[in-house]
Amino acid sequence: MRAHDVKEILIEKSAIARRVDELVDDIAATAEPRNLIVIGILKGSFMFLADLMRSFHRHEVHPRIDFLTLSSYGADTVSSGTVNIIHDIREDIRGADILLVDDILDTGRTLALTKEIMLGRGARSVRTCVLLDKKAHRAVELEADHAGFVIDDHFVVGYGLDYDNLYRELPHIAKVSFHDDA
């Protein structure tokens, strides 16, 4: 792990909370509420997904929930280009309307592959929701149906996002500042 700090806050906790409610308002207006399965991509989505779910309560939408664990970056901050399923969902998704939830959209490979797998298993529709959209490194043609914040090309942590599995507990989004000369 390189020398770094996470002091600079990029998105405050209160701004995240407001945006989560707006996202859920949009999702509730477009999703098919009877048949909805929300699938969180672990580990990064756990905090975002929990807040999204609480916000669904305001719309009396009652989604099923499941989780998918994919391979991680480890101590790397650049995508390796391959995505593997480590732990699969358990729900039968045939005919279901899926909302895939991830922390951040970067190259797009994670969501593109997951979307393809879910459609291959017979989901009726697959929509995507991410807290953050980092457009700088997109490698596949994919835009999220619902995105919280578009951010510049920084490596960020907090609110579920990690650097080498650290800092997921931060209630805000912070920038990782690397000190190469330290």
Contacts of residue 58, defined as CB under 8 A and 6 or more positions apart, other chains included, come to 21, 24
Smallest separation, CB 13 to ligand IMP (Å)? 17
Q: Which two tokens stand for residue 136?
A: 């700088």
For residue 105, the partner it binds in ligand IMP, Mg ion, none, with Cβ less than 5 to 8 A by kind, is ligand IMP
Report whether 112 contacts 83 (CB < 8 A).
Answer: no
**Catalytic residue at 106?**
yes
Exposed e or buried b for every residue in 169-179, given b needs 16+ CB within 10 A? ebebbbbbeee
* Region of 23-31, 52-60, 92-100, 108-116 interacting with ligand IMP (CB under 6 A): 108-116
Per CB under 6 A, 107 contacts ligand IMP: yes
Convert residues 116-145 into a mask of x (bound to ligand IMP by CB under 6 A) and - (unbound).
------------------x-----------
Smallest separation (angstroms) from ligand IMP to the CB of 157: 6
106 forms part of the interface with ligand IMP (CB under 6 A)? yes
Residues 51 and 23 sit within 8 Å (Cβ to Cβ)? no
Residue 44 as a binder of Mg ion (CB under 5 A): the answer is yes
Binding site for ligand IMP (CB under 6 A): 44, 73, 79, 102-110, 134, 155-157, 161-162
* Catalytic machinery residues: 106
Binding site for Mg ion (CB under 5 A): 44
